[in-house]
Amino acid sequence: MLIPKKISFIREELKKRGLLKGFVDSDDREISKVFFDSRRVKNGGLFCCIPGSNKDGHSFASDAVEAGAVALMCSNSTEKELGVPVLIVDDVRRSMGVVSSILNGDPSSKLKMIAVTGTNGKSTTTYMIRSIMSQRFKTGLLGTIEYHDGDRSFLADRTTPEGPDIQDFLGSMVSNGCEGCVMEASSHGLSQGRLEGVSFDVAVFTNLTQEHLDYHGDMSSYFEAKAVLFEKHIKNKGSAVINVDDPYGKTLLSRLGSGISFGIDCDDALVSAKNIVLGVDGVIFDLILDGSVLPVKLPMVGRYNVQNALGAAAACMSLGFSQEEIILGLEGMPVVPGRMERFVFQGGICAVVDYAHSPDALENLLKSAREFCPGRLISVFGLGGERFRGNRWTMGELAARMADHIVLTMDNPRGEEPEDIVKDILLGVEKVPDASFQVVIDREKAIRTALDMGQPGDVVVISGKGPESYILIKGEKIPYSDSQAVRTWAADNKRSWR
């Protein structure tokens, strides 16, 4: 529940935290909510002027005041002529989350908070953790697929929301009776300060592979963005849970000096797995947890989902959840939309929809599918426009080596031409002698083409978009879903699935 505060109170709190650079007061007004979009401003709001690469929030300050903003947060004092108090800070984006936390009563201090960061596995791991935590109490969720405040689900528009939105969701979770929250922490969110004002009882590191280099520049900077979660946002006596199968995980654990390690291939990990049996209907393995050997039947396919389960188990163990609660949570977890989502059709064809959109993720996905594929492995994928270009030929070569046939298509081309993206992917495909491939730019047609050619025992892997409900073309979101495309094909061909 939002608790209005006087501008003088907010000013002093920012000063205590070393965030305040200066201020211009006209009177001591009461702030009821934080806004960073002038179109959403309501009476009593603090409007935060975020300097952006395309638009500068300072340009919209007058619009915000006209809409009812009673104060501004700026990186300079140029807006003082508008006649409202101005808080001047070095970094508006970081500071606005802190103010929103104050207005919401510091909600992260009232919840058992778990954050998951890494290149791959964040969404699945958060769903696993939430399933375990829900054995004991109501738990909220913030991530790539959805935001859930304990009572209602909202379609997510980014992995880690802006600071005020995070705080408002956490405040709603507390009001709705949640005792816990699990969320994904993206490298963008961490580096931009969207998590300021949020602290965690547990932070989980899944892995780090080549992605987002168009933003971070290099792997070292990407790693440093992830490390912020562990070095700045963990509560006193909080825990770091780290995948030591990953080399960056080992580096992070060494840097922190302590933490709870997990891994499949690391014998000295505190939480590990043995006797893994993979199948089309899930994975059976022994969970080695706190010295106990616990049989688990995970309703998800893929060896890497065992690794995600280890991270979830280790995180919940650190919060004091029982072995029984952990096993029940893992075995009873719901299907994660667009994460190894399986359609096993009558007649022996299997389709898998997954979000994999980086080289490591695609490799893990195809490797996992091969393990339960007695026939041909058919890969359907494209890559997003205006993203790190080097992944295109890397993933093209990877798919050509691992799959029996490839159907290249569009993903989210954004401002690029889909055909140009496919040409880049083909640079990698053509490095593999006798690679079998075809190009079908229309994504739904590409999926239907792959499914039409499927024979008993074949697995069609559709990757890149996962749960997304649109294709982004030149700024327009066109409604579309990979899973729905598979269901439509099944209905048209009168094929049932399990």
Mean pLDDT by 10 residues, the chain (498 residues): 91 93 86 95 94 82 93 77 88 95 97 96 96 98 96 91 96 98 95 95 93 76 94 96 97 96 90 92 92 94 93 98 98 90 90 92 92 94 94 97 98 97 98 97 98 96 94 95 97 93
The per-residue pLDDT for 78 is: 58
**8 Å CB contact between 89 and 14:** yes
Quote the tokens at residue 491.
Answer: 């209905």
Q: Is 26 helix (H, G, I), strand (E, B) or coil?
A: coil
What is the C-alpha to C-alpha distance for residues 427 and 113, in angstroms, rounded to an integer?
44
What is the C-alpha to C-alpha distance for residues 213 and 348, in angstroms, rounded to an integer?
40
AA identity, residue 76: N
CB-neighbour burial class of residue 53 (10 A; exposed 0-12, middle 13-18, buried 19+): exposed
The per-residue pLDDT for 242 is: 98
Q: Residue 76 has what DSSP assignment?
A: S
The per-residue pLDDT for 408 is: 98
DSSP 113-140: EEEEESSSSHHHHHHHHHHHHTTTS-EE
What is the C-alpha to C-alpha distance for residues 137 and 158, in angstroms, rounded to an integer?
26
Claim: this prediction has a pTM higher than 0.85: yes
The per-residue pLDDT for 80 is: 53
**8 Å CB contact between 472 and 413:** yes
> Domains of the chain by range and CATH?
5-103 (3.40.1390.10), 107-331 (3.40.1190.10), 341-492 (3.90.190.20)
Quote the tokens at residue 201.
Answer: 């009882």
